[in-house]
């Protein structure tokens, strides 16, 4: 599994912004936004927003290479490409 480093950048108007680095020497960098309401919906506040981002990247890396992950996206976008995502996270 690739190394995943998550940095929370800011919270603004009910949104979190994270920068996620995947890999070590051949890193990919991704900017991910997360609506506070979507975090609550997926996690029932049982995990932090950062933990949700980590779990989501683990899910993505099980389905595609780090190079195939969009460079910038909102976490809700994952469900458009992988309809099983929300069910997986809510378990």
> How sure is the predictor about 22, in pLDDT bands with cuts at 50, 70 and 90?
very high
Confidence at residue 91, expressed as pLDDT on a 0 to 100 scale: 83
Sequence-ordered list of residues with C-beta below 8 angstroms from that of 11, at least 6 positions apart, any chain:
17, 36
> Considering only CA atoms, which of 23, 17, 1 is closest in space to residue 72?
17
What Å distances lie between residue 35 and 12, 84, 87, CA to CA?
Answer: 10, 19, 18
**Would the pLDDT of 10 be above 80?**
no
**Would the pLDDT of 1 be above 60?**
no
**Would the pLDDT of 66 be above 60?**
yes
Confidence at residue 2, expressed as pLDDT on a 0 to 100 scale: 72
**Would the pLDDT of 54 be above 60?**
yes
Under DSSP, the state recorded for 2 is -
Please classify residue 40 by burial: count the beta carbons closer than 10 Å to its beta carbon, then call 0-12 exposed, 13-18 middle and 19+ buried.
Answer: exposed
């Amino acid at each position: 599994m690739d190394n995943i480093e998550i940095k929370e950048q800011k919270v603004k108007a009910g949104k979190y912004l994270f920068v996620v680095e995947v890999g070590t020497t051949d890193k990919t960098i991704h900017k991910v936004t997360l609506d506070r309401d979507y975090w609550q919906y997926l996690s029932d506040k049982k995990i932090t927003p950062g933990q949700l981002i980590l779990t989501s990247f683990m899910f993505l890396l099980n389905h595609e290479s780090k190079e195939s992950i969009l460079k910038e996206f909102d976490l809700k976008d994952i469900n458009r490409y992988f309809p099983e995502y929300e069910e997986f996270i809510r378990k």
